[in-house]
Structure 1
Amino acid sequence: MAAAVTPPREPTSVVGANPIFAQTMLRVADPAASAAFYTGVLGMSHLTSLEFPALEFSLHFYGYPPAGEAPAPPASAPQEERAAWLWARPYPTVELTHNWGTEKADSGFQGYDNGNDAATGGRGYGHLGVLVDDPVAAVAAMKAAGVKVTREASPFQDVGVLGFVADPDGYLVEIIQRAGGGAGGAASAGPPAGMVGPDPVLAQTMLRVRDPAASIAFYRRLGLTYLTALAFDDFSLHFLGAPPAPPPAATVGGNDRPARAGWLWGLRSPTVELTHNHGTEADAGFGGYHNGNSEPKGFGHLGLIVSDVAAAVEGLRGEGVRVVREASPFQDAGVIAFVADPDGYLVELIQRAGEVGAPYAKPL
């Protein structure tokens, strides 16, 4: 089994204090079908939408807002106002991008790639992950409702109970048993959310990476903290995030995999899960992973909200990071930029609209 990477003390962030891991962007063919899945199945709320008629696409944002949060400005409000509300949210969202016309039966559109099929050439992005009390019950309810189940909920080695389902475009969602959950655990408070039970947490976005040392260094410079690793015979999972408190030293570098998984599945803040298939970092013949933005398209980018996009871009450029889009206003949706990580995955940097708050964890 490969040893877990134990990075040194966290470096200074290039993007300023308390960046927000704000979004995972996925392209979808039919926004109505996707809305039914993300709200009715996963129990998320539709937060707001941004429309770009001149470019013929729309962005629809979903998430698990804290109870009692004031709603977004209405759809009739100026888009600039709705975008500013969105860029002040402290919690993660799923951004579903709809290129107009793909939903029509006669469009000839063949669908998006979910990032998990090497045969299509699209292997790269892996999945979203949601923490729930009882993944067995949740996956069973989804299956009964006609949702495609790609892995029944059951123990995965010694890191807990999990299952996988597919959304209408085939993107995978991992349903993970939260620490203390399950049939014998105490039920979370609150009403059920969709088919996943009460109090789900949007917990992770998984990307495959070739060289974990390079990828970890990149995301740490974006202000994320290295949390822990789960190492298996042929692959390792490295988790980074921005939790309210740093992980215990034994969790970061210890050898007790069940204990590290248990701590991880108890977090209430989002993580980036970097999957390293052992040997790719030294394989001269490895062709790399697909970032989802050329054919076959699917996954688009991660998004971080930062206090000064222009300064962040210059800091990253100075360290050799590839800048894909310079910091500038994007129509009436605020200032954004794009940079590429070591595997070519895009990261959108978005100008913060609210105050710099404390690192986020979903309230109990």
Structure 2
Amino acid sequence: MASFTENHPGVVADAPAATRGFVFNHSMLRVKDPKVSLAFYSHVLGMRVLRKLDFPEMKFSLYFLAKLEEGSEVPQDVGERTQWTFRQQGILEFTHNWGTEDQPDFRYHDGNAQPQGFGHICFSVPDLAAAVKWFDENQVPFVKRPEQGKMKDVAFIKDPDGYWIEIVQADLLANLGR
């Protein structure tokens, strides 16, 4: 299959040769309490922690999570696993600034309140109805259910820090935006 991308103003015709081998590795979210966030992302969304890095001198920790394919082989050696983690695609990084979990009124801006900025991350699921049922069983708060609003078959849930997570089923979206 030939490589294809849409052409829009500002898009260069060919990716510069200097960018060959570049991989989009991860996006970062700041989390108030890693125990709560890790429980949510591992139980509700099935993600696994690939690597945790602590920086005591700066009082923060990084957690790198991924939704691994069944049978994925992750290196056991810490150094090899760190290198492997930074070669992957679609990683989610949590940054935890130590002590925020003990501040009752502390919260991060979710990007959707004013002024808007960051919007959401997205998970594609094989069965949207089954995912919605799973989220309901786990009392996950919805921003938007699939049947609500003008964009049908798209849901938005919230994580423990209030970040929005879009939930889609790819084969329901062929007519999206047409």
Gaps of 5+ in 2: 1-5
Looking at structure 2, the residues matched to 156 and 15 of structure 1 have their Cα atoms a distance apart, in angstroms, of 43
Distance 1:5 1:13, change over 3 A: closer
Q: Which residue of 2 aligns with 1:231?
A: none
* Structure 2 counterpart SS, 1:258: coil
1:258 aligns with 2:175: yes
Please list the CA deviations of residues 285-333 of structure 1 after superposition, one character each: whole Å capped at 9, or x if unmatched: xxxxxxxxxxxxxxxxxxxxxxxxxxxxxxxxxxxxxxxxxxxxxxxxx
Structure 1: how far apart are the matches of 2:35 and 2:55?
A: 18
Q: Is the CA contact 2:153–2:169 (under 8 Å) kept in the aligned structure 1?
A: yes
Q: Which amino acid aligns with 2:175?
A: P
2:86 is aligned to: 87
Corresponding residue number in structure 2 for 1:280: none
Structure number with larger C-alpha Rg:
1
Amino acid at match of 2:171: A
**Closer, same or farther in 2 for the Cα pair 1:35/1:15, shift >3 Å?**
farther
TM-score w.r.t. structure 1 length?
Answer: 0.43
State the 1:258 CA deviation. 1.4
Alignment of 1:130-209 (within 5 A): 130-154=123-147, 157=150, 161-179=153-171
- 2:76 matched to 1:73? yes
Contact kept, 8 Å, 1:48 with 1:72, in 2: the verdict is no
Of Structure 1 and Structure 2, which has the larger fraction of its residues in strand?
Answer: 1
Aligned mates of 1:99, 1:109 — CA distance in 2: 15
List aligned pairs for 1:231-310, cutoff 5 A. Answer: 258=175
Aligned pairs, number: 172
Q: 2:96 aligns with which of 98, 106, 116?
A: 98
TM-score of the superposition, structure 2-length normalised?
Answer: 0.82
- 1:111 aligns with one of 99, 107, 110: 107
Measure how far apart 1:70 and its partner are. 1.6
Match of 1:58 among 54, 61, 64: 61
Query: Is this contact kept in 2: 1:23–1:92, CA < 8 A?
Result: yes
Residues 146, 152 of structure 2: 8 Å contact kept: no
Q: Highest relative contact order (Cα 8 Å, sep 6+), 1 or 2? A: 1
Q: Which runs of 5+ in 1 are unaligned?
A: 182-256, 262-364
In angstroms, what is the RMSD of aligned CA positions?
2.7
